[in-house]
Amino acid sequence: MEKVRTALVSDYEKDQQKDENALAEALSGIITQKMEEYKTMFSGKKDSNEAKHLREELAFLRNDNISLKNTIENLKNSSNPSPQKHKLEEELQFLKTELMKKEAEYSVWPAEKSQYLLQLKEKEVELATLKQSLEFSEMEKNSNAIELKNNRKKLADTEKIMKSYELQLSQAQQKLKDQESKSLNMEKKLQATERENSDNLKKLHQSEENIYKKDLIIAELKQNLNNKAEEISQQEKILLQKEEIWENKRMEWNAKMEESKKKELDWNNQFKKWHDAILTVQDERVKREKELKKKDLEVEDLK
The pLDDT tens digits for 108-151 are 556 666 676 677 677 677 777 777 877 777 787 777 778 778 87
The residue with greater pLDDT, 39 or 166, is: 166
- Whether the pTM exceeds 0.85: the reply is no
Flag whether 134 is in a domain.
yes
Q: The dihedral of CA 222, 228, 230, 236: what is its sign? A: negative
pLDDT tens figures, 1-24: 445 445 544 554 565 555 545 544
Q: What is the pLDDT of residue 214?
A: 85
Flag whether 260 is in a domain.
no
27, pLDDT greater than 50: no
CATH number at residue 169: 1.20.120
pLDDT tens figures, 195-239: 888 888 888 888 888 888 888 988 898 898 888 889 888 988 898
Q: What is the pLDDT of residue 295?
A: 80
Q: Which domain holds residue 77?
A: 2-179
The residue with greater pLDDT, 83 or 93, is: 93
Phi, psi of 123 (to 5 degrees): -65, -35
pLDDT tens figures, 274-289: 888 888 888 888 888 8
Flag whether 195 is in a domain.
no
Flag whether 115 is in a domain.
yes
Contact 58, 107 (CB under 8 A): no
Flag whether 226 is in a domain.
no
Flag whether 175 is in a domain.
yes
| Mean pLDDT for the chain overall | 73
pLDDT tens figures, 162-184: 788 788 888 888 888 888 888 78
Overall domain count for the chain: 1
Q: How many percent of the chain have pLDDT more than 90?
A: 1
Q: If DSSP codes are grouped into helix, strand and coil, which group holds residue 271?
A: helix
Could you tell me the CA-to-CA distances from 115 to 35, 44, 102 in Å, in that order?
Answer: 19, 11, 21
DSSP string, 75-128: HHHSSS--THHHHHHHHHHHHHHHHHHHHHHHHHHHHHHHHHHHHHHHHHHHHH
Flag whether 270 is in a domain.
no
